[in-house]
Structure formats: structure tokens, C-alpha cells
């Protein structure tokens, strides 16, 4: 069942856009809540400031509250990663996560990215966009330096999913 706050946020019309410097501390708080359970990697404030241009946020124009965040990080030649996707608990299941991922995919297309991957426990969520399960071995090696920051490393049971933008022109 969708909760009341989700309906309010949805009805109020959330705006998805690029994050700004003033959003970073709130993004850090949102990600930290999920990092402790291992569903997203922890990100320090320093990393988030470094990666500001990767980040999207979903904001309620009524009060400026940030309901969710997601990053599209260029990783290697024509390949990018979706990471740091998180929607605050009482705003979930209102389409915010979907909107954030669509914004990342749109920007990736504009930048001529051909493949986007994600490491996730929410495979069902990502399959809606056309992501398909792949062997982790096909991902760029530099991904694994980030994985060492995870509370679950080295016992990772996340799935690797890939979206081929050259085959999914209309996604
Ligand atoms: C995954 C997440 C971002 C989805 O955000 P959201 O705003 O609730 O997503 P939407 O409302 O756009 O879509 C909801 C749908 O996504 C799917 N979904 C949501 N969370 C899911 C999860 N953890 N696993 C699998 N599917 C999920 C469901 O099918 C749901 O549909 P339903 O409402 O009909 O059941 C959110 O649940 C979250 O922040 N989870 C904790 C952090 C996390 O797991 N991040 C992903 C890291 S890759």
C-alpha cells in the first residue's frame, strides 16, 4: 500500500534536476541511512562534492525537501554507472526512483554513453528500464576499487545489470 506522504509528494509534483552544492549534506544523510544496511555504498562528503555533477535530486518545490537522489557516473569509454540511488523511506513507491533513473538515462544518451550498468539488490526495479543481468566480470575493473568501501565486501551478493542504449533507443 502506498503511504500518505508518498501520495502527497506525488500529488505535489516533484521536480527532478541536477543537484547543487547546497544539496550535498542532505544527499549525504539520505545515502548514509542506506549505506549502513549495505544497499548503497557509503559516500563521504568529500566524494559527494567531487561528484556533484553526477548527481540528480528529486525536490518538492513546495518546501525544497529532497526526496531522493541518484548519480550517473562516467566510468570508461562509452560506459557509465548508475549509483547512489536512494529515496527517503516515507517517499518511496511514488515514482521518484523511476524518475531519477530516467533522468540519468537521458543524460547518458546526451553524452553518447552506450552502456549503463548498476550493481544492485533491486534487480526487479531496474529490469523495468530494460537492464539485463550480466556477469560481473564484464564490468570495467576500476569498479572494484569502489566495492572495497562496501560493508559487505568481499561477500558481495549484489547483481550486475546492464542497459545497452544502442539497443534500447526509446528507453
Ligand atoms: C529502490 C528505490 C530507489 C526505489 O525507489 P522508489 O521511488 O520507491 O521507486 P518507484 O516508486 O519509482 O518504483 C517502485 C517500484 O520499484 C520496485 N522496487 C522498489 N524498490 C525495490 C527493491 N528494493 N527491489 C526490487 N524492486 C523494487 C517495485 O516494483 C515498485 O513497484 P510497486 O510499487 O508496484 O511495488 C528505493 O526503494 C530505495 O531507495 N531503496 C533503498 C536504497 C536502494 O536499494 N537503492 C538502490 C541501489 S542500486
- Ligand 1 atom nearest to 119, measured from its CA: 48
The domain spans of the chain are 4-164
Give yes or no for residue 164 having a pLDDT over 50. yes
Into which CATH architecture does domain 4-164 fall? Answer: 3-Layer(aba) Sandwich (3.40)
**Cα 97 to ligand 1 centroid, rounded to whole Å:** 6
pTM listed for this prediction:
0.91
Nearest atom in ligand 1 to 83's CA: 48
Task: Give percent of the chain above pLDDT 90.
Answer: 71
Q: Which residue has the higher pLDDT, 157 or 12?
A: 157
Residue ID of nearest Cα to ligand 1 atom 25: 122
66 Cα to the center of ligand 1, angstroms: 17
Residue of higher predicted confidence among 82 and 151 = 82
66 pLDDT higher than 90: yes
Pocket of ligand 1 (CB under 6 A): 34, 39-40, 85-87, 92-98, 118, 120-122, 124-125
Taking residues 157-171, what's their average pLDDT? Answer: 84
* pLDDT tops 60 at residue 165: yes
75 to 82, 85, 108, 142: CA distances (angstroms) = 10, 16, 11, 8
pLDDT band at 102 (very low <50, low <70, confident <90, very high): very high
- Residue-by-residue DSSP string for the chain: ---HHHHHHHHH--EEEE--GGGHHHHHHHHHHHHTTTSS----HHHHHHTGGGEEEEE-TTT--EEEEEEEEEEETTEEEEEEEEE-GGG-SSSHHHHHHHHHHHHHHHTT--EEEEEES-HHHHHTTT-EEE-GGGS-TTHHHHHTTSTTTTS--PEEEEEETTT-TT-
Distance from the CA of 124 to the center of ligand 1, in angstroms?
Answer: 8
Give the pLDDT confidence score for residue 1 in this predicted structure: 42
| pLDDT, tens digit (0-9, with 9 covering 90-100), for 139-163 | 988 888 888 877 777 788 899 999 9
Return the pLDDT at 11.
Answer: 40
Amino acid at each position: 500500500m502506498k503511504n500518505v506522504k508518498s501520495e502527497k509528494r506525488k500529488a505535489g509534483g516533484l521536480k527532478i534536476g541536477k543537484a547543487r552544492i547546497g544539496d550535498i549534506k542532505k544527499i549525504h544523510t539520505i545515502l548514509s541511512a542506506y549505506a549502513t544496511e549495505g544497499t548503497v555504498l557509503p559516500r563521504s562528503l568529500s566524494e559527494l562534492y567531487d561528484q556533484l555533477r553526477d548527481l540528480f535530486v528529486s525536490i518538492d518545490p513546495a518546501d525544497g525537501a529532497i526526496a531522493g537522489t541518484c548519480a550517473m557516473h562516467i566510468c570508461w569509454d562509452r560506459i557509465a554507472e548508475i549509483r547512489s540511488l536512494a529515496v527517503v523511506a516515507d517517499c518511496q513507491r511514488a515514482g521518484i526512483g523511476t524518475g531519477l533513473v530516467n533522468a540519468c538515462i537521458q543524460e547518458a544518451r546526451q553524452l553518447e554513453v552506450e552502456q549503463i550498468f548498476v550493481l544492485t539488490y533491486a534487480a526487479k526495479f531496474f529490469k523495468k528500464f530494460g537492464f539485463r543481468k550480466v556477469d560481473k566480470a564484464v564490468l570495467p575493473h576500476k569498479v572494484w576499487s569502489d566495492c572495497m568501501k562496501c560493508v559487505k565486501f568481499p561477500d558481495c551478493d549484489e547483481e550486475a545489470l546492464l542497459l545497452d542504449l544502442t539497443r534500447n533507443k526509446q528507453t
